[in-house]
Amino acid sequence: MSQNVREGVLKRFLEYVVIDTQSTEEGSGNPSTPGQWDLLHKLEGELKELGMHEVILSEHGVLTALLPATAPAGHAIPTIGFLAHVDTYHGTSGKDVKPQMHQNYDGKDICLPGTGKFLRVAENPELAKFVGDTVITTDGTTLLGADDKAGVAAIMTALEVMIKSRPFIHGDVKVAFTPDEEIGQGAANFPLADFGAHVAYTLDGGPEGEVENETFCADTATVTLLGRDVHPGYAKGKMISAIRAASHLISLLPQHGIPETTEGYQGYLHPLTIQGDVNKVTIPFLVRDFTMEGLQVREATLQGLLQQTAAAFPGLVTEMKIAHSYKNMKYYLEKEPRAVELAMEAVKNCGMEPSLVAIRGGTDGSRLSEMGLPTPNLFAGGRNFHSVQEWIPLGSMEKAVAVMIEISRLWSLQK
């Protein structure tokens, strides 16, 4: 890629990460925080300046735009889309982000000046691959926001390249920037029918070369424990403590099926929070597996543990409600195999070894695939997402731009 691309994606990324777009589960609107509107309005203006068509920012904070086809009339090319989310993780501060530029990186541990702590090569061996590149970190007091502002910057830069240099004849290319992905609401108000793409790609992944075609199947199992409160001085034989019952329930979780002990294609049960008192405790459990059958097994396991807890606390009333979140996107991507095949080919054509990866999480593409728009996930280059030790190599963002452009070219050859 040219020096202009490198400078363009860097400039955009540095401008975007200093805008506080941290989402929150406590918000009442969509987007859940006002800072997301700030970035969305900025992007709306930039899309118009680039000359994009049909730039629409919805009342729910979904920003869409069209790069019109350059193919001659009657030359049918499938419409494709690229998406990224503007919010950052709700559990780590995204306020007053101070990105640190480590130009011509020397391969040594990197000091994070806000805390004096270090990004250690021993803990981040991938750093060795980027000696001589520019590595961008936080100052150690906040996250960086590469998840997913690297994806946002890459999409905007790819659009600029395609508009200004017109490297090939292409079909319609749609883009979308969504809010609140980190709290599972990114696709909640997505204008699917108006978007009109045949396939789409989220730019929300990690190391360069990765194409992610699987996610967890995800449910939330909300457990409610109803006890009985009486004066503790006169509680013998009368009190049923929902708090102690909750502790008992969690102690029964199988150690081989929790986040701390699982990897790869292993699923888990994860108690997210505990809220309540002696009378009533509520615990939402994240239930994750790569198959629907496995998801059902884990929910049956939790139901069994709930029954054991009820038996251990006579008189305790229990309830479990299941809310579906998303399904493994692989179930839907198989209906249009070109979505993944052309992404893998594009990665290879851009000089990287393509790697097909399963995400131990979800993306907007999980929901969109289930809604009928096949949407695998592409790398954007970031590492240590959601952490004050988040970092990204500039070269990885450049490669993400190149892959998007090559995907557009490969789809221009399809019918």
- Element (H or E) spanning 394, and its range? helix 394-411
CA distance 218 to 205: 19
The amino acid sitting at 65 is A
The amino acid sitting at 48 is K
Q: For 98, which DSSP code?
A: -
CA distance 360 to 215: 6
Task: Say whether 387 sits in a helix, a strand or coil.
Answer: coil
**Interacting residues of 213 by C-beta distance below 8 A, sequence separation 6+:** 329, 330, 333, 340, 356, 357, 358, 376, 377
**Pick from 142, 287, 180, 145: which is nearest to 223 by CA?**
287
CA distance 291 to 329: 10
**Pick from 342, 330, 222: which is nearest to 274 by CA?**
222
Strand partners, 276: 281
CA distance 332 to 260: 29
**Strand 80-85 relative to strand 173-178: parallel, antiparallel, unpaired?**
parallel
Preceding omega of 109 cis (within 30 degrees of 0): no
CA distance 187 to 203: 15
**Pick from 35, 381, 69: which is nearest to 198 by CA?**
69
Name the residues annotated as catalytic.
87, 181
Task: Say whether 107 sits in a helix, a strand or coil.
Answer: coil
Distance, CA of 268 to chain centre: 19
- CA angle 336–338–339, rounded 5-degree value: 80
**Interacting residues of 338 by C-beta distance below 8 A, sequence separation 6+:** 199, 414
